[in-house]
Amino acid sequence: GENVEQHPSTLSVQEGDSAVIKCTYSDSASNYFPWYKQELGKRPQLIIDIRSNVGEKKDQRIAVTLNKTAKHFSLHITETQPEDSAVYFCAASLTKLVFGQGTRLTINP
Amino acid sequence: NAGVMQNPRHLVRRRGQEARLRCSPMKGHSHVYWYRQLPEEGLKFMVYLQKENIIDESGMPKERFSAEFPKEGPSILRIQQVVRGDSAAYFCASANGLAGADTQYFGPGTRLTVL
C-alpha cells in the first residue's frame, strides 16, 4: 500500500522568511496530493492540492510542486506570518488519503 | 468545509461501553471517509463508504469497530466494548465522488475519551 514520508517533523522560521516542507510517496498510482493545515484542537483544513497531471500550483503565498518521477512533492510558504503557525500534513491519494506524519511549523515574530 | 457535521464533539465512555459517532456529509456529497488521530500523531485512514456500501475498510480493526452509511441519515462509526487505547479524535471527511481522487473536506471531529 501507499506510504508517505514527511520532513521535517518540526520547523521554526523567522516571520517573513520562507518555509519548505517535503514529502515522498511510494505508490506511483497515486494521483492526488493535498496539503492540510491543522491548528490545535481543530479540524484539518485543505490549503492547497495538486493532481498528477500538473507540476506546480500556486495560491498567493502558498505553492506546491510535484515531481512524479522522483515521487516527491513539496509545500512552499513565502512571507510567513504568525498565523501560519500550525501542524501541516501532506497526503497522497488514489481514493483514500494516506497522510504524512506532520510538520509542526512555528513562525517566530 | 463547514458543511461536514459530526456529533457529538466530545464523548466520554467507560471501558466496555459502546461509542457511536455520527457524520453528516456536505450537501451533495455521497462519499464518506473516517480517520483516527491519536494525540500528537497524524491521521490514519479507517474506512471509506458510499451510500449503503463499504468500499474500503482496510484501516479499520477487525473486531469491535463497524461503520455504516445508510440510505437515509448520517454515517455512523460504532466502537463496541471500548478500551483506553480507543481514546483519540475521530474525523470524518466527505467528497462528491465525481472524480477518481476527490477533494475531501473534514468535519470538526469527535474527541473520544475512554476512562
What tens digit of pLDDT does each residue of B81-102 get? 999 999 999 999 999 875 556 7
- CA atoms B31, B96, B93, A25: torsion sign: positive
Check if B109 contacts A (Cβ < 8 Å): yes
User: Which pLDDT value is given to residue B99?
Assistant: 53
Per the CB < 8 A criterion, the answer to whether B100 and A95 are in contact is: yes
Residue of A nearest to B92 (CA): A43
- Cα angle, residue A92 at apex, residues A90 and A94 outer, rounded to 5°: 155
Q: Rg for chain B (alpha carbons), in Å?
A: 13
Please state whether the peptide bond connecting residue A82 to the residue before it is cis, i.e. omega within 30 degrees of 0: no
Partner residue facing B56 (CB), from A96, A99, A101: A96
Query: Residues B37-56, buried b or exposed e (16+ Cβ, 10 A)?
Result: beeeebbebbbbbeeeeeee
Tracing cell 501507499 back to the chain, one arrives at A2
Partner residue facing B42 (CB), from A45, A49, A102: A102
Check if B105 contacts A (Cβ < 8 Å): yes
Q: Which three cell numbers stand for residue B33?
A: 471517509
Does position A36 have pLDDT exceeding 50, yes or no?
A: yes
SS (H, E, C) A56-74: EEEECCEEEEEECCCCEEE
Which residues in chain B have Cβ-Cβ distances shorter than 8 Å to A98? 45
Render pLDDT for A82-106 as a digit per residue (tens, 0 to 9).
999 999 999 998 878 999 999 999 9
Q: pLDDT > 90: what percent of chain B? A: 80
Residue of A nearest to B42 (CA): A101
Does position A78 have pLDDT exceeding 50, yes or no?
A: yes
Name the burial class of residue A107, with classes exposed (0-12), middle (13-18) and buried (19+) by CB atoms within 10 angstroms of its CB: buried
CA B99 to chain A, closest CA, distance in angstroms equals 9
* Dihedral angle of Cα A56, A4, A39, A21, to the nearest 10 degrees: -50
Check if A37 contacts B (Cβ < 8 Å): no
B1 pLDDT band (50/70/90 cuts)?
Answer: very low
Cβ neighbours around B75 below 10 Å, total: 24
The candidate with the shortest Cα–Cα distance to A32, out of A4, A5, A57, A53, is A53
Check if B41 contacts A (Cβ < 8 Å): yes
Per the CB < 8 A criterion, the answer to whether B33 and B104 are in contact is: yes
Which residues in chain A have Cβ-Cβ distances shorter than 8 Å to B102? 32
B103 pLDDT band (50/70/90 cuts)?
Answer: confident
Q: pLDDT > 70: what percent of chain A? A: 100
Which residues in chain A have Cβ-Cβ distances shorter than 8 Å to B101? 30-32, 51, 93-95
Mutation for A interface: B38, B104, B111, most A CBs within 10 A: B104
Size of interface A-B (CB pairs under 8 A): 59
d(CA A78, CA A68): 23
